[in-house]
């Protein structure tokens, strides 16, 4: 990509130092299975680091062709989260940050791989920043959770840090779904029980590993249909390719949660598991048919929750977005942070406004941790 300080290298594909990856993976987003399985073909993703570490996950992109989750203007403006922004500032940010070098938390978890103290992390970030400057690109950091070691170092290097999204998860109490329902208000329990009854018996199914392969293409079609329902677009072939890479990487820990009606697949969710944690990821559904069987809620929430209880898992990760639907089903929330150079004034202005909006929203929601969001 670009010239780096001598001790750092760019790695693409499977060319990486295995010492970067945790030996014991307690979260589906950690380790090489997710980092490599979730890569998109030809989208400029790679890893940057020293031998043996630390390393970060990184991509190069330009506004207009970069996926929205990797576009600093979209993320800092929170255009998909309803944050009111000045359109002139957004336009100025697009002009100033048309080319970006993005360090990103892959799957909204820490992008830092391997071990490293603050000095080592700072050296790596400084080297990436120098490479970006030399190429005329703006270096940005996206989607870091609270507690990420990058957040300690970034302000010292001239970055402004702020909340750009909220991440939902459910800590599953007790031994079964009834124990989770017992923690919710009566009105919510009634709604959930009605949704649980909506599919006919046997209409919900989870398949794992190789057994999921025959369902990947129809599940990918549903993801594309869900995108269209939101006024967005994605090619089913791209989704299917992503699913097959994840299946190859995760094996039996790759699941498809599915809801059928008359043997027709109406809703699905990819679920990835590791030890005591499952992640509900990339839901798809077909409207209006899926509504009649509460397909989305069963595929994305209730079937994965039941699977967690059946397999002894205690946490279901739900990701960002659709906050109210997740809150109503027992989710708690934690902040995701992004960082931009203070010298890029339009991006910094967007981030400042988005951070204030999310802090107000977070104050109204149940927190995923008892700690202060900035801890």
Of 37-41, 133-137, 240-244, the range with the lowest mean pLDDT is 37-41
Q: State the average pLDDT over residues 202-224.
A: 97
Q: State the average pLDDT over residues 304-319.
A: 96
Pairing of β 315-319 and β 332-341:
unpaired
Residue 52 has pLDDT above 90, yes or no: no
Beta strands, E only, the chain: 8-11, 45-50, 55-62, 99-104, 138-145, 159-171, 204-208, 254-261, 264-274, 277-285, 315-319, 332-341
Count CB neighbours of 41 within 10 A: 9
pTM of the model: 0.92
- Can you tell me the distance from the alpha carbon of 247 to that of 63, in angstroms, rounded to the nearest whole number? 30
Tell me: the pLDDT tens digits for 59-101? 888 877 777 888 999 999 998 898 999 999 999 999 999 999 9
Residue 275 has pLDDT above 70, yes or no: yes
Question: What pLDDT score does 113 carry?
Answer: 85
Residue 372 has pLDDT above 50, yes or no: no
Q: Is the peptide bond before 22 cis (omega within 30 degrees of 0)?
A: no
- Can you tell me the distance from the alpha carbon of 194 to that of 275, in angstroms, rounded to the nearest whole number? 31
Residue 20 has pLDDT above 90, yes or no: no
Residue 371 has pLDDT above 50, yes or no: no
Contact 283, 300 (CB under 8 A): yes
Helix/strand/coil for 94: helix
Angstrom distances, CA of residue 113 to CA of 44, 87, 339, 355: 19, 37, 18, 26
Question: What pLDDT score does 295 carry?
Answer: 95
Of 16-20, 30-34, 211-215, the range with the lowest mean pLDDT is 16-20
Task: Indicate the average pLDDT of the chain.
Answer: 90
Residue 44 has pLDDT above 80, yes or no: no
Of 14-28, 112-126, 275-289, the range with the lowest mean pLDDT is 14-28
Q: 375: pLDDT confidence band, cut at 50, 70 and 90?
A: very low
């Amino acid at each position: 990509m670009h010239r780096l300080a001598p001790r750092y290298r760019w790695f693409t594909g499977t060319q990486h130092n295995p010492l970067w990856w945790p030996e014991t993976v307690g979260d589906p987003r950690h380790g090489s299975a997710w980092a490599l399985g979730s890569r998109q073909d030809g989208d400029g993703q790679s890893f940057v680091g020293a031998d043996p570490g630390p390393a970060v996950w990184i991509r190069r992109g330009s506004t207009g062709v970069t996926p929205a989750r990797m576009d600093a203007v979209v993320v800092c403006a929170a255009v998909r989260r309803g944050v009111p922004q000045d359109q002139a500032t957004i336009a100025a940010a697009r002009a100033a940050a048309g080319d970006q070098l993005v360090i990103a938390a892959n799957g909204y978890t820490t992008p830092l791989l391997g071990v490293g103290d603050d000095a080592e992390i700072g050296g790596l970030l400084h080297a990436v920043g120098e490479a970006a400057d030399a190429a005329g690109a703006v270096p940005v950091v996206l989607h870091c959770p609270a507690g990420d070691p990058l957040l300690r170092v970034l302000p010292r290097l001239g970055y402004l840090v702020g909340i750009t999204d909220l991440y939902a998860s459910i800590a599953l109490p007790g031994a079964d779904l009834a124990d989770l329902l017992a923690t919710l208000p009566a009105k919510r329990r009634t709604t959930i029980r009605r949704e649980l009854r909506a599919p006919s018996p046997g209409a919900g199914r989870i398949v794992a590993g190789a057994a999921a392969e025959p369902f990947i293409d129809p599940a990918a079609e549903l993801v594309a249909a869900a995108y269209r329902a939101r006024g967005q677009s994605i090619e089913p072939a791209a989704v299917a390719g992503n699913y097959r890479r994840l299946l190859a990487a995760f094996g039996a820990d790759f699941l498809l949660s599915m809801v059928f009606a008359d043997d027709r697949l109406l809703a699905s969710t990819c679920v990835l598991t590791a030890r005591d944690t499952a992640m509900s990821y990339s839901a798809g559904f077909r409207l209006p048919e899926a509504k009649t069987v509460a397909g989305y809620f069963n595929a994305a929430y209730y079937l994965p929750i039941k699977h967690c209880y059946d397999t002894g898992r205690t946490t279901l990760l739900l990701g960002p977005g659709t906050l109210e639907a997740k809150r109503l089903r027992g989710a708690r929330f934690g902040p995701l942070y992004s960082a931009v150079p203070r010298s890029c004034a339009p991006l910094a202005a967007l981030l400042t406004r988005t951070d204030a909006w999310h802090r107000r929203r977070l104050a109204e929601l149940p927190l995923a941790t008892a700690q202060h969001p900035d801890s």
